[in-house]
Structure 1
Amino acid sequence: MNESQHVAPGAWSPLAVPMFRAMWLAILGSNIGTWMHDVAAAWMMAEATDSPLWVAAVQSATTLPVVFLALLAGALADIVDRRRYLLWTQAWMCGIAALLAALAWSGMLQPWSLLALTFALGCGAAMAMPAQAATTSELVSRDLLPPAVALSSISMNIARSVGPALGGVVVAQAGPPWAFAFNAVSFAGMLAVLWVWKRPPDAGRLPREHVGDALRAGLRYAAQATVFRAVLARAASFFFFASALPALLPTLVRRDLGGEAATYGALLGCIGVGALAGALLLPRLRARMDRDRMVLFACLLQAACIAATAALTDPTLLGAVMLLNGASWITVLSSFQIAAQTSVPQWVRARALSLYIVIFALGMGAGSLGWGALAQHASLRVALLAAAVATALAAVWALRFRLAAVESLDVAASAHWPQPVVAEEPEGERGPVLVTVEYRVDASDRDAFLDLMAQLGRSRRRDGAVQWNVLEDVASPGTHLEYFVVASWLEHLRQHDRVTGDERRLQEGIRALQAAGHVPVVRHFVGGPAVAAATRAHRDI
């Protein structure tokens, strides 16, 4: 982090940070290898079965593991050393890719074993994704985070430009085993970069959360995070329907167009080139229109591309459509990724990103199977046209979930709560803990106060409260008592570390509404064995 402090913010500035640059290049190589694997696996399955459902199942085998494992992976990525964790996941994927290459060379790779090993590779990717995404904020300073996230999208789409085309050429000229072997080498490159990364040890003063507690905390946060939920809703409304094109394209090329692996790879390369061009144009687009309108236009363009794919039979024209498809895809994907990254604080970022990844994978995996099944029982053209109409309708429906609110959030840790003042420090696991805050509000400010308290209640629940409410003293109108319950003393101490700049401003607004001369009074009550002395009131909120 320190080496990036003096780098001026800009679209390419994060690449001036040596460790980010090395990681970016390694991820680029790994993404190229993954695309080469996808081309080789899809083409092998198309040659072996000629079934749209089986070919679509290859994409599902890659993405569905994320649905089952990403939440666990996100919790682990937030509570363990991310460098060691990523070393293990990359070693797993390197081994699986090498096994795929060996079986393909020996002629022992059958449809079921291809699916099984692709699923195993997807499991490794699912376990690595949240940690890899959350690592970005460790490699660059906060002001460089937005361009760093955008560069990650550019890396993915450079790979999408090069990987499929390279994979198509390798499969056509040398065979699928060589594509699988390149993928194994790309994971070895990631291992090398992670090995030399000198990640600072975690400086947290509190013990690590247990995995189960971390999972519950992440889900609880997402349930109360309005803006982040909007990102998930928009993602869910897009990926399921937009998955039709990548899922059905291999069969369309081979069966309807009579093309070869090189043709399929070239069309995927066109998608990548369009995505790269779109990523470079995104800063200008963001300057001219708000995020929600930009995503709407991109979704409608995606729907038009899917419909055009159903209607066209000329590979050259399809290549032009794939360019537009790539540009619209990166506009949507980059907007969602940046919104997901910047709408949550650091302490829960990997878990939140894992939820986003689950939505992405579930949409792509289930959508691929669904559109593949429709294509098998009706036709490819019918499935693509149905997906195009559904994508457009979903884009209009999703307008109710606004992404623009992300831009006004301040989720940086504020550290404005002083540590509780106690007569004797309770044991960390002791609980439950009841925290009360007494307020006094004039009658003229009551409605404004209660509106702010409703927002504060969501904040308390996001940060760990299992119960929350605010009550008014019937004998003394204007005297309000807020209370919230957390599971243990240790969990309450974690609340102190989790409060953000937005929550600080919210609490300052509540303080400003207090009656003249009154300051909110805070008390802590701890369950379990009797304390040696009563917990003293203090003013930490």
Structure 2
Amino acid sequence: MDARGCGEPEPSSCGGKRLERSQPKTLQAFRNRTFRTLWSASVVSNTGGMIQLVGAAWLMTLLSSSERMVALVQASVTLPLMVISLIAGVLADNYERRSVMLAAQIMMLAVSSLLATLVLAGWMTPWLLLALTFFISVGTALHYPSWQASFTDLVPREDLPSAATMNAMGMNITRSLGPAIGGFVVATFGIGAAFLINAASYLAIIVGLAAWRPIRPERRLPRESFYGALEAGIRYFAASSNIINICIRGFIFGFAAISMQALLPLVARDVLVADAMVYGLLLAAFGSGAVCGALVAARIRSHLSIEQICKLSFVVFALAAICLAYVGHVWISCLALFVGGASWININSLLNVAVQMSVPRWVLGRMIAIFMTFIFGGMALGSWTWGMVSESFGLQAAFVAAAIVLFCGLLWGYVWPVLAYPATDLDPLNHFKAPAVRLDLNSSSGPVAIMVEYEIAEGDVAAFLQAMETWRRIRLRDGARRWSLLRDIEAPDHWIESYHVASWTDYIRHVDRRTVADQHVLERLTALHCGQKPMRVHRMVGRHMISRAGSASTAPFPEPI
């Protein structure tokens, strides 16, 4: 499927031109005070979450002797991030994102406080611990799509790479420091203290979100139903080949690269024959590499395209994985983990930015949620897969197999490269004029059929069909159904494009979703139209029964733009 089929402007490919050399510096997003405040609060909150995870895992070893129950602690954390992300994306696009984040943080504060209270009172059980850990992770899953989609509200478009990179760096800082702090807190002050610290950590971001006053865009249309919004997000994803490609590359990398973190305890124990202190050193090396990789990310982006950075990250991580399996030296292993961490943050932040810069605001939360589902799904499946491979065939075989998958991801990029969109204008076109409606319509009137008439000269038919294929995908992406293109057998120059939408509201919403980037396709079709009069548009509403006079609702409907 061609990426241009979605009505997107000509993107640059891996072998094409590089990104603009005027890329923002890595810390550019910190110029925005609100982003700086919320980022700092997010780091504090995520660190508290890592402390809570350490406490929960250790508490489970005291509550149950079953290895399965201990493993379920990690599963209760990752499962909501896979299952609930798309629901969270619908909420992020349908409601004010600040309110969604506040609700998620308050929910996590309440559940964490309950968890700490039950532990301190001595009333905790294994299944209750899993349930509360699961609900805390539900709050995290609800928070992330709204938080990442809010970058467009917090910083200018040119600072989005910086914001995404700093967000990824913040998460890796917490992954590096959180377990160490958590272990110290649990050993020194007890498990209850770890849960109390986590509960308190949510206050910082709650205060930051409460103080933020984002600009609320005027809502001219009724809010989409949950299932309608879910269907619209999936439909947009299915019609956006570049987003699909980004998610697949993210899944491949997450599936293979998680082997390094999942098998790292075995590397410390079996390859290096070391203790927990060396394991902590290895974790610190990976986290330090991620932080340093984030700091040089902008410089790398100024010299390489997104696809070139993706290929480099796949290769470097594969070599680092092989090095871990065969080199039994602590400091060389730390070096491998350092470059692995740098590759990890560069590819994840770049793919995240590619999603954010490739979709319009109305569906941004859902696309980020789908991207997160692919990433976390790959990691969850990879953790289980490489553990099974290591147990059955050995640690070295697991790392070699993961490296082979990474090299397959490298080859994928030569066939389906990730495309860069440095200058796409995804703002609403806002050129729609309300038709002269002479029927009593309300927001639910429908179905609505639309027919557009074209006059195309015989010599322009090939160009018309090519442009119409792109236009068809734009229509379907934005909500059209049952699209068709008809040619008059008696007057071959006469063409009719037709499609349906479920209701009058859906039609207004469909037209409202058209972006400035789609305008060039419409201009091309207009230029090919050779009729003496402009293209004629017919909008017709379906009638399933004859209603009594005056029974139709005449509720006022907001005038579309």
User: Does the pair score TM above 0.5?
Assistant: yes
Matches within 5 A, 1:204-223: 204-223=219-238
User: Which of residues 320, 325, 334 in structure 2 aligns to 1:305?
Assistant: 320
Q: Which amino acid aligns with 2:284?
A: G
Question: Alpha-carbon deviations, 1:371-412, whole Å to 9, x = none?
Answer: 223334444443333222222223323442221243453322
Alignment-mate amino acid for residue 39 of structure 2: W
Q: Does 1:339 align with 2:369?
A: no
Identity of aligned residues (%): 35
1:228-261 deviation per Cα after TM superposition (whole angstroms, max 9, x unaligned): 1111121122211222222222454457656555
SS in 2 for 1:413: coil
Q: Find the aligned partners of 1:392 and 1:244 in 2 and give their Cα distance.
A: 14
What is the CA-CA distance between 1:349 and the residue it aligns to?
Answer: 0.6
Q: Is the aligned partner of 1:155 residue 2:170? A: yes
Shift in Å, 1:344:
0.9
AA aligned to 2:448 is V
- State the distance in 2 between where 1:156 and 1:381 align: 29
Tell me, yes or no, if structure 1 residue 84 matches structure 2 residue 84.
Answer: no
Measure, in 1, the Cα distance between the counterparts of 2:514 and 2:532.
26
Question: Residue 182 in 1 paired to residue 194 in 2?
Answer: no
The correspondence for 1:483, drawn from 494, 498, 514, is: 498
Alignment of 1:102-141 (within 5 A): 102=117, 113-141=128-156
Could you tell me which amino acid in structure 1 is paired with residue 388 of structure 2? A
What is the CA distance between 1:101 and its match in structure 2?
A: 4.2
- Distance in 2 (alpha carbons) for counterparts of 1:375 and 1:44: 27
Matched, 1:294 2:309: yes
2:353 maps to 1:351:
no
Any residues of structure 2 matched to 1:254-293 within 5 Å, and which? Answer: 262-293=277-308
Aligned pair 1:144/2:159, yes or no?
Answer: yes
Contact 1:164/1:266 (CA < 8 Å) preserved in 2?
no
Residue 460 of structure 1 and its aligned partner are, at CA, apart by 0.5
Q: State how far apart, in whole Å, the 2-side matches of 1:73 and 1:293 are.
A: 32
Residue 527 of structure 1 corresponds to 542
Q: 2:387 aligns with which of 347, 372, 389?
A: 372
CA contact (8 A) 1:40 1:167 kept: yes
The aligned amino acid for 1:84 is S
Matched AA of 1:91? I
* Alpha-carbon distance in 2 for matches of 1:90, 1:139: 19
Q: By how many angstroms is 1:53 displaced?
A: 7.0
User: 1:36 and 2:51 equivalent?
Assistant: yes
Matched residue type, 2:224: E
Say if 1:237 and 1:50 are closer, same or farther in 2 by CA, change over 3 A. Answer: farther
Structure 2 residue matching 1:203: 3-state secondary structure: coil
Return 5+ residue gaps in structure 1 as ranges. 1-7, 533-539
Picking from 384, 397, 420, the partner of 1:382 is 397
Deviations 1:331-369 (A, max 9, x none): 110111001111111001111111111111211112212
- Residues 496-539 of structure 1 deviation map (CA, whole Å, 9 limit, x = unaligned): 2210112111111111222164421111011136799xxxxxxx
CA distance in 2 between partners of 1:40 and 1:258 (Å): 26
Task: Give the aligned partner of residue 31 of structure 2.
Answer: 16
Give the alignment's Cα RMSD to 1 decimal: 3.0
- Out of 73, 78, 84, the position equivalent to 1:69 is 84
Distance 1:90 1:506, change over 3 A: same
Q: How far off is 1:312 after superposition? A: 3.9
1:477–1:524 distance in 2 versus 1, CA, 3 Å: same
Aligned residue for 1:368, secondary structure, equals: helix
Taking structure 2 as the reference length, what is the TM-score of the superposition?
0.85
Residue of structure 2 aligned with 1:429, choices 418, 435, 444? 444
Residue pair 1:98, 1:181 contacting (<8 A) in 2 also: yes
Q: CA 1:403–1:269 in 2, change beyond 3 Å: closer, same or farther?
A: same
State whether residues 435 and 523 of structure 1, in contact with CA within 8 Å, keep that contact through their aligned partners in structure 2.
yes
Mean CA deviation greater in 10-19 or 432-441: 10-19
* Corresponding residue number in structure 2 for 1:536: none
Instruction: Report how many aligned residue pairs link the two structures.
Output: 527
Task: Specify the SS of the correspondent of 2:443.
Answer: coil
Helix, strand or coil at the partner of 2:498:
strand
Partners of 1:35 and 1:152 in 2: how far apart?
Answer: 16
Pick the aligned partner of 2:342 from 322, 327, 337.
327
Shift of 1:55: 6.2
What TM-score results when the alignment is normalised by the length of structure 1? 0.88
More helix by share: 1
Provide the residue aligned with 1:241 in structure 2: 256
- Determine if contact 2:88/2:146 at 8 Å carries over to the other structure: yes
**Structure 1 residues 303-312 or 458-467, which shifts more?**
303-312
1:461 pairs with one of 463, 476, 485: 476
Q: How far, CA to CA, are the matches of 2:353 and 2:450 in structure 1?
A: 35
Q: Secondary structure at the match of 1:411?
A: coil
> Any idea what the Cα deviations from partners look like across 1:132-183, whole Å, max 9, x if unmatched?
2112222233343333233322322333343344334445555554444332
Q: Does structure 2 retain, via aligned residues, the 8 Å contact 1:168–1:266? A: no
Residues of 2 paired with 1:516 and 1:439: CA distance?
7
**How far did residue 19 of structure 1 move?**
2.0
Larger relative contact order (CA 8 Å, sep ≥ 6): 2
Q: Which amino acid aligns with 2:491?
A: S
